[in-house]
Structure 1
């Protein structure tokens, strides 16, 4: 079985025609399964009110479906978030008589320049994605040798007769039934009692899989969204991080010490304060040091999205690369 996770950036409910509705919070999941191919669709239910809703939907995705029905500030912010998150694989659907020529100047030089323009045909889109997932199945065995894995938690709850269950997507590597995993940023360890992928039991999950994990050794009060289950020693956590930033071209002024910026990485959207700025002559590419309200969990070389919630119509600041 192979899975593709797709961010559906469209009017809420658009994905009702793509899959069966599942978990709903500030992001809504829809599931589609045919044979050995599965698709997970995610809608940012609370966006544009909550920028974190857009970030979460995008950060989880392998591919993007962007429905353009109006050219406005929300469209511009979505383009910037996709660019900062590096989501280069996607499709654009036009509505309300909009055309590719109308957005071409706005997406020039961004990842969206290479998105495929497709018709507004949910059934056709379903078949297109299922076909892509089916073709990926042949590569699944290769992924199974991918080393230690990590699963950022997006939801967690108790199930009667089962115990603690967490939902998440495998970011890289492999996890297996009975593995003992660190629960970062805590000092706790949890053992995987069972793995489910789209309601089917499994012995193993690999990068790209959407999983439900029944855990032993932790309680739901020990967990939170953004915590990471991992057996990968390269994944670390810290309440102070320093990295090289690159600001979006529309950002109007240099970042300054004491500004509160939200760092987006995996399922984390953490408020942090800039404690040091070293511009090195180019204020759009400064080195920044942040002190966070809680530990950030990340691997070496992580790409973090910078967000400024007091920014009005421009809330996406840029990216930060961590050593």
Structure 2
């Protein structure tokens, strides 16, 4: 059952027109299932709550999403920040839906220019009456275009960040999160980082269905045995022992690709946050040399060993543009 995770930055009304409401945390999920060519296909629309007041839910959505929808009711600083966040996260496929508030006029040409500047040159601009069927058809087209790359990601090492966990009577310890890469199956031996505790997968659930395996893009509940509950916390990583998919950074160096529209410059001693694979890690800039930045992390920051991590650098007090840019060539020091 292929799933396409979609970042939906827009109104609850739009989300309800596109899918059936599911669970709500700091992110609302809306699901649309449809049978196409004899196969059940799924659109999982993820709507960050509290944005623009809080940017973390948006960044969590962008860590998971492979496509985007941006509803534009007025041209504002928060719309510009959302565009930059989408562009810096590599969400290269999507639609900007112009849906102005009453009495507001939005210039579609200006929207096009802003998208191009934000790195979203391949996004389409949609005007007029909202056609939910047309929007979903476009998302299924994107899913088709990404099928080969998603299949390749399934063969990568397992990376499964945990965003919540609890004990279920009759089941035991359950961890929930999105499979960022790789595959997890029933009876797999798994390792939880950074505790380095090992357990065994007892059972798996995806969208309330029991499954034998979960693949890239699935939001999965993993029932575990032989594992201490203390090893689980939000932001910990479930991996397969010996695959070596992640490396821990306590101090990193990287080149900062400055975000579009960003005028602020980092200074030594400033606090930053790094968003990657559902982590939101705190660090302090210890040195600068042009665009080369060195950061000491408050707690271990996990980076993919294959170099595929996409890391967004954020400063929470850098309003109206909190996205500082992307970290490339990130390496551990020491």
TM-score scaled to structure 2, two decimals? 0.86
**Which of 223, 226, 230 is 2:239 aligned to?**
230
**Which of 232, 236, 250 is 2:261 aligned to?**
250
Task: Give the deviation of 1:136 after TM superposition.
Answer: 7.6
Q: What is the match of residue 112 of structure 1?
A: 120
Is 2:87 aligned against 1:83? yes
Answer whether contact 2:68 2:94 (CA < 8 A) is retained.
Answer: yes
Secondary structure of the structure 1 residue equivalent to 2:251: strand
**Which of 27, 44, 56 is 2:48 aligned to?**
44
Q: What is the match of residue 289 of structure 1?
A: 294
Are the structure 2 counterparts of residues 10 and 179 from structure 1 closer, same or farther at C-alpha, using a change threshold of 3 Å? Answer: same
Is 2:277 aligned against 1:266? yes
Task: Give the deviation of 1:115 after TM superposition.
Answer: 0.8
Is 2:189 aligned against 1:172? no
**Which of 62, 70, 81 is 1:66 aligned to?**
70
The 1-side partners of 2:206 and 2:107 are apart by 38
The 1-side partners of 2:224 and 2:283 are apart by 31
Cα shift readout 1:213-232 (whole Å, capped 9, x = no counterpart)? 21223355432222111123
For the aligned residues, what is the CA RMSD?
2.4
The 2-side partners of 1:102 and 1:144 are apart by 36
Secondary structure of the structure 1 residue equivalent to 2:176: strand
Answer whether contact 1:3 1:210 (CA < 8 A) is retained.
Answer: no
The 2-side partners of 1:72 and 1:303 are apart by 26
Q: What is the match of residue 208 of structure 2?
A: 199
Is 2:194 aligned against 1:185? yes
Q: Which consecutive unaligned segments of at least 5 residues does structure 2 have?
A: none
Task: Give the deviation of 1:181 after TM superposition.
Answer: 1.7
Q: What is the match of residue 2 of structure 2?
A: 2
Secondary structure of the structure 2 residue equivalent to 1:58: helix
The 2-side partners of 1:52 and 1:139 are apart by 30
Are the structure 2 counterparts of residues 111 and 252 from structure 1 closer, same or farther at C-alpha, using a change threshold of 3 Å? Answer: closer
Q: Which consecutive unaligned segments of at least 5 residues does structure 1 have?
A: 280-285
Task: Give the deviation of 1:202 after TM superposition.
Answer: 1.7
The 2-side partners of 1:290 and 1:92 are apart by 35
Q: What is the match of residue 155 of structure 1?
A: 164
Secondary structure of the structure 1 residue equivalent to 2:57: helix
Task: Give the deviation of 1:50 after TM superposition.
Answer: 0.8
The 2-side partners of 1:156 and 1:121 are apart by 38
Task: Give the deviation of 1:177 after TM superposition.
Answer: 1.3
The alignment of Structure 1 onto Structure 2 pairs a total of residues equal to 316
The 2-side partners of 1:238 and 1:141 are apart by 27
Secondary structure of the structure 2 residue equivalent to 1:112: coil
The 1-side partners of 2:121 and 2:254 are apart by 28
Are the structure 2 counterparts of residues 247 and 130 from structure 1 closer, same or farther at C-alpha, using a change threshold of 3 Å? Answer: closer
Cα shift readout 1:135-180 (whole Å, capped 9, x = no counterpart)? 5898699559714321112232222222222222222222211112
Task: Give the deviation of 1:249 after TM superposition.
Answer: 4.1
